[in-house]
C-alpha cells in the first residue's frame, strides 16, 4: 500500500501527521509528506483513516 500527498492540494492543517505520524510528516513549508513508503502493515489502517479525514482530500491511497 502506498500513500501519496498532493502537495498542491494540501493546506497544511497537520491532521494527517497528527493522526498517523509514522506515515505522514510536515515539512518546513508546512506541507504533508509521506515518510513510510510502502506503508507498513501495522500503520495501514491509520494511514487510510488519515486520508479519509483530510479536509481537502489531498491524500491518495493505492494498493
Q: In whole angstroms, give the CA distance from residue 1 to residue 48.
A: 10
Based on CB atoms, which residue is closest to ligand SF4, 5 or 39?
5
Angle at 34 between CA 28 and CA 37, to 5 degrees: 145
**Given CA atoms 11, 13, 19, 22 in this order, what sign does their dihedral have?**
positive
- Shortest distance, CB of residue 20 to ligand SF4, whole angstroms? 9
Based on CB atoms, which residue is closest to ligand SF4, 27 or 40?
27
- Shortest distance, CB of residue 47 to ligand SF4, whole angstroms? 11
Q: Which residues are near ligand SF4 by CB under 6 A?
A: 5, 10-16, 32, 54-56, 58-59
Amino acid at each position: 500500500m502506498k500513500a501519496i500527498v498532493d502537495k498542491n492540494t494540501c493546506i497544511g492543517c497537520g491532521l494527517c501527521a497528527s493522526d498517523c505520524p509514522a506515515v505522514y510528516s510536515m515539512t518546513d513549508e508546512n506541507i504533508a509528506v509521506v515518510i513510510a513508503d510502502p506503508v507498513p502493515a501495522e500503520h495501514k489502517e491509520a494511514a487510510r483513516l488519515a486520508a479519509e479525514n483530510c479536509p481537502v482530500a489531498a491524500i491518495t491511497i493505492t494498493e
